[in-house]
Structure 1
Amino acid sequence: MRSELKHSCGRALAAAWPQRPRGPADRRLGRGRALLFVGLLCAAGIARSDDFLYTVAPGDNPWSISERLLIDMSYWPRLQRHNHIVDDRRLPPGSVLRIPEAWLRLRGTSLQVTALAGPVQIKRSGAWQAAQRGDPLRAGDRLQTGAHGSATLALDQTATVLLRQSTEIRLVEASRETTREGGGAPRVRIELLQGGLENAVHDLRKSGGELQIQTPTAITTVRGTEFRVSADAQTTRTEVLDGLVGFDNPHGQTDIPAGRGSVAGRGAAPLLPVELPPAPDLGRVEQRQQAWPLQGEIGGAGRYRLQLLAGTGTSVLAEAAGADLSSLAGEWPDGSYRLRVRAIAANGLEGLSAERTLEVDAQPAPPKLATDGPTVATTAPQLAWSVPQPGWRWRLQVSAVTAGTDAFAQPSVLRDQWLDQPRHTPAGLPAGDYAWRVASVDGSDQGPWSRVARFTVLPLVPRWAGLTLADGVHLGWQLDAAEDAPVRVQIALDPAFQQVVFDEIRHGREARLPRPRPGRYHLRLSALEHSEEASQWSEVRPLTVGWSLFGLR
């Protein structure tokens, strides 16, 4: 094939030679143009397919092209030989030169999608498609994260760029400037169309590389720093965590040092940098979390940027701006996570971040209790809860409530039962205050406890149903209980029951007593649920026994 190309080029050169030049000048001009034109065509035929194609512009020559595009000015003879240029002073505009990529000072490169979470799309060649880990992002491509998505881009070991939720960028340029000694300085330009970026860039000052973020209202340029940029159509905010960042637009420029931030609005110069809010205190956020959303108090400002990251990854799984951890919506599998929180100032700048490692054990999910507030019952209450998943069982704990103690610390736990139904009636509890909670059980895996609810069991007090006197004393009562409890009956000569003349226990709902001697008496009742001691007495009923057959008055 290569020999055929040589012969075809030879025939073309012969055919291109002027047959009848009209004079010496015409002969020299015609020969030079023909040799150059055919030489470029032949070079195109034998050059490598990965050569860079350069279209000659008016005034170009091998020296100017080498100075602008190649690693060194001394490469011009190689450029001439590689393209078989005969007349190096006359390059026809519009002709194409082939340049090996290894000779170029700026070589195209790409950013790599190294991590993503949630909905992330990439647009290339006019079409959006789902982004995948490992996808390259080349000049002209766009990347977009959804409302619950994030993505991390990397340029070798030089820079990482985190796209927060609802962010869209366009990669304007990704190139690397090479030298004769090898290596190269990266140059990356990103257009931030909307949303926010968090960037970490290694020191590029020695190599001369830079990362530039363009927004509708400002340009942020760095050579080695850690910084954040957020933008919409009207405002750009830049916060610097490490290093020094240039921040400018057509109306002015400022340098932002570490720990400070600046704001640039449309039609106005960037404001002077101001100090960023300090990192909030996460000491009151428990490391072990047993439910979604996360629980815990944040010490510091009133509004925060909240981010949830995988334990060892860079992807942001969830992000929100709110007053507490409950703003982070969503649920994820049990495991290790990192919570990142920073305060949001009144001017919209976000402060220094605080992080806390969390161990989440929230599955199987706890049920929702059917009661919203305390339940009061004269007997055992009806406890009920939701069914998160069919086939699960439940563990129920009921505990006595004592002021100043943990309700579920032993020996406060009175009932600890495994149940197959999402309801239970804890019978036989003495009067008092109680707390209860339920956990879901999937196989042998018990999940976290539900919230704690309370109920109160009132004393079981008999209510009078009747009191008559004939040949004896007939008394009846009612009880709010599923089963009859023993009832203690007392008769005294005085209303304070200091002179008790009758004190016995009866079963059922009525009793017949012998007729007492004439006189005035006082009667009262008490249910005995769990001991021989009366829990609470009923109201006192008077009884007068006369000499007549019926002495009840």
Structure 2
Amino acid sequence: MFRKFSGILFLFVALQAQSQQQPEWIYNTVKGDTLWDICLKYTNKRGCWITLTKYNEVVNDRVMPVNTPIRIPVGWLKKLPVVGEVVYVTGAAKYSQWNDKQFFTLTAGQQLHLGAIIRTQAGSIVKLLLHQTNEVLIKENSELLLEKFSSNNVDVLDEEITLKQGSADVDVNSDKVKNRFIIKTPAAIAAVRGTRFRINSSGDQMRGEVLEGKIDVSTGSSSQSVPAGFGVSATKGKKIQPPQALPPQPKMLQARVKSSLPARVDWEPLNQVDQYQVSLYNGKKKILSIETVDHNWIVYDTLDKGCYQVKVHGIDGAGFHGIDSQASLCVIEDLASVDLNDEDSLKDEGDHLALSWQNAPEANSYRVQVSTDEQFSDIVQDTTTSDTQVVLPKIEGQDVYIRVISLDNNGRESLPSSVLEYSDKKSQMFSIIVTTILVGIAFL
């Protein structure tokens, strides 16, 4: 009899150790629930009610209070519960279901089940909505596991995800429902209640940055409470250092930028910042790209016409990412160029040149440039006018090249017009004659 009991006990301990390595679904009891009923309805495991009693340390399942959390390993469930969906995917990303080694392409609108693993590649971004409440933005070269979730019909949502590597931005929305949200990394665990924060995981290192609210970060040996505007770095098994202030918001030089391509957005440089991270959003708040630059501007060459949001934050020497600033960017059509005609546009009026042209659509002023070379590296006159004609002085004995650039009130500049060449032949001929006479006199 003793041997038989020992065998059962050993089997249970082995099952419990195996279960603890699995993702878990948390069922919150309602009035009249028993573990037998729960096992029968949700699991396909033989002897479930016996092992589930021990697994959850339930003394008497006949008198369980309402909303008692019952943890059920994912491998016992008849059907994997849906715990989230994909809001959007930028680039290429993949996912796998629980206990499935095969990975599949991840697409927008896709439902995600408990135990799913999401992997992003270089340049890819995935945004998740968990329980229709909390948002997780998974950045490039990351791997995330949906590890522990409660059922939806509860007063307090339990959600636990594991960021095995890479970076994620999290927005825990406590306005809709109370949350017990935990994000684990190999180095540390962050527990939050209603906040916005970033987590980066790399090997035994974890970095957290709090934008709103606060998080509690703990390792095996220490813990720290991190308020908004601060960040913390943790190393597995070591004491966590005190939080440090994040880089401040950079000041955008323009809150609204209207430009044809290439479009440039500038901000004031920050002290003690080595780099900046720039995120580009479309009108539907989808991130199109994330770039890291070492200067205080960004240039976009290939955007479609339309309006975007550009968010920028600094990155200090310790790798902490700061607070975002943003500006709107509207990419508009190129301004039409001026059409210069050799015969009609430029006339020699004796002591000066008269240049005229047709008005370019949407232009309200023009820049007229005169250069001594075709490459316009030696510009000798640069005039701006709101008219469509201008008087230019002659440069005696000098060939000149002339072009016009359209301008508008939004700061757009067109491509330069075709180039007109003017040669002051009379002045050149007079100079040659005078020079010849002087040379002849010298020989007399």
Fold-level similarity (TM above 0.5): yes
Q: Which structure exhibits the higher relative contact order, with contacts defined as CA atoms closer than 8 Å and separated by 6 or more residues?
A: 2
Match of 2:232 in 1: 262
In the TM superposition, what is the alpha-carbon distance from 1:357 to its structure 2 partner?
A: 1.2
> What is the aligned length?
352
Give the conservation status (yes or no) of the 8 Å contact 2:39–2:48. no
**For the residues of structure 2 that align with 1:204 and 1:50, how far apart are their CA atoms?**
32
In the TM superposition, what is the alpha-carbon distance from 1:326 to its structure 2 partner?
A: 6.3
**For the residues of structure 1 that align with 2:211 and 2:276, how far apart are their CA atoms?**
17
Give the conservation status (yes or no) of the 8 Å contact 1:149–1:317. no
Tell me which amino acid in the other structure corresponds to 1:249: T
Say whether 1:400 aligns with 2:365: no
Q: In structure 1, which of residues 256, 277, 298 is the aligned counterpart of residue 247 of structure 2? A: 277
Q: In structure 2, which of residues 414, 436, 442 is the aligned counterpart of residue 449 of structure 1? A: 414
Q: Given the superposition, is the C-alpha separation of residues 221 and 456 from structure 1 closer, same or farther in structure 2, using an over 3 Å criterion?
A: farther
Say whether 1:347 aligns with 2:318: yes
Give the conservation status (yes or no) of the 8 Å contact 2:367–2:385. no
* Stretch moving more, 169-178 or 290-299: 290-299
Match of 1:114 in 2: 87
CA displacement 1:83-119 (0-9 Å, x = unmatched): xxxxxxxxxxxxxx999x9xxxxx9441111122222
CA displacement 1:203-235 (0-9 Å, x = unmatched): 28984x322111121111111111111121142
In the TM superposition, what is the alpha-carbon distance from 1:432 to its structure 2 partner?
A: 5.4
Q: Given the superposition, is the C-alpha separation of residues 539 and 294 from structure 1 closer, same or farther in structure 2, using an over 3 Å criterion?
A: farther
**For the residues of structure 2 that align with 1:69 and 1:290, how far apart are their CA atoms?**
71
Give the conservation status (yes or no) of the 8 Å contact 1:63–1:73. no
**For the residues of structure 2 that align with 1:67 and 1:434, how far apart are their CA atoms?**
90
Report % sequence identity: 18
Match of 1:311 in 2: 283
Say whether 1:541 aligns with 2:428: no
In the TM superposition, what is the alpha-carbon distance from 1:141 to its structure 2 partner?
A: 1.2
* Stretch moving more, 123-132 or 339-348: 123-132
**For the residues of structure 2 that align with 1:489 and 1:448, how far apart are their CA atoms?**
39
Q: In structure 2, which of residues 218, 239, 251 is the aligned counterpart of residue 248 of structure 1? A: 218
In the TM superposition, what is the alpha-carbon distance from 1:175 to its structure 2 partner?
A: 2.1
Match of 1:52 in 2: 43
**For the residues of structure 2 that align with 1:283 and 1:70, how far apart are their CA atoms?**
64
Say whether 1:228 aligns with 2:198: yes
Q: How does 1:97-176 map to 2 (within 5 A)?
A: 108-124=81-97, 125-176=100-151
**For the residues of structure 1 that align with 2:213 and 2:62, how far apart are their CA atoms?**
30
In the TM superposition, what is the alpha-carbon distance from 1:413 to its structure 2 partner?
A: 6.9
3-state SS of paired residue (1:287): strand
In the TM superposition, what is the alpha-carbon distance from 1:434 to its structure 2 partner?
A: 5.0
Q: Given the superposition, is the C-alpha separation of residues 293 and 302 from structure 1 closer, same or farther in structure 2, using an over 3 Å criterion?
A: farther
In the TM superposition, what is the alpha-carbon distance from 1:399 to its structure 2 partner?
A: 1.9
In the TM superposition, what is the alpha-carbon distance from 1:51 to its structure 2 partner?
A: 3.7
Match of 1:337 in 2: 308
**For the residues of structure 2 that align with 1:163 and 1:237, how far apart are their CA atoms?**
15
Say whether 1:186 aligns with 2:157: yes
In the TM superposition, what is the alpha-carbon distance from 1:334 to its structure 2 partner?
A: 1.3
Give the conservation status (yes or no) of the 8 Å contact 2:53–2:59. no
In the TM superposition, what is the alpha-carbon distance from 1:431 to its structure 2 partner?
A: 5.3
Give the conservation status (yes or no) of the 8 Å contact 1:288–1:360. yes
Normalising to structure 1: TM-score of the pair?
0.53
Say whether 1:359 aligns with 2:335: no
Q: Root-mean-square deviation (CA), in Å? A: 4.7
Give the conservation status (yes or no) of the 8 Å contact 2:167–2:199. yes
**For the residues of structure 2 that align with 1:540 and 1:268, how far apart are their CA atoms?**
95
Q: Given the superposition, is the C-alpha separation of residues 543 and 233 from structure 1 closer, same or farther in structure 2, using an over 3 Å criterion?
A: same
**For the residues of structure 2 that align with 1:119 and 1:251, how far apart are their CA atoms?**
38
Tell me which amino acid in the other structure corresponds to 1:356: A
**For the residues of structure 1 that align with 2:265 and 2:313, how far apart are their CA atoms?**
17
Gaps of 5+ in 2: 1-37, 67-75, 338-362, 372-378, 392-396
Tell me which amino acid in the other structure corresponds to 1:270: I
CA displacement 1:169-209 (0-9 Å, x = unmatched): 1211222375xxxx3322221111222111111228984x3
Over alpha carbons, which structure has the higher Rg?
A: 1
In the TM superposition, what is the alpha-carbon distance from 1:55 to its structure 2 partner?
A: 3.9
Tell me which amino acid in the other structure corresponds to 2:280: L
Q: Given the superposition, is the C-alpha separation of residues 297 and 130 from structure 1 closer, same or farther in structure 2, using an over 3 Å criterion?
A: same
Give the conservation status (yes or no) of the 8 Å contact 1:147–1:166. yes
Give the conservation status (yes or no) of the 8 Å contact 2:370–2:380. no
Match of 1:410 in 2: 386
Tell me which amino acid in the other structure corresponds to 1:410: S
CA displacement 1:258-289 (0-9 Å, x = unmatched): 11110112442222111111100112476113
In the TM superposition, what is the alpha-carbon distance from 1:255 to its structure 2 partner?
A: 0.5
Tell me which amino acid in the other structure corresponds to 1:145: T
In the TM superposition, what is the alpha-carbon distance from 1:327 to its structure 2 partner?
A: 5.8
3-state SS of paired residue (2:128): strand
Tell me which amino acid in the other structure corresponds to 2:326: E
Tell me which amino acid in the other structure corresponds to 1:194: Q
Give the conservation status (yes or no) of the 8 Å contact 1:342–1:354. yes
Match of 1:239 in 2: 209
Normalising to structure 2: TM-score of the pair?
0.65
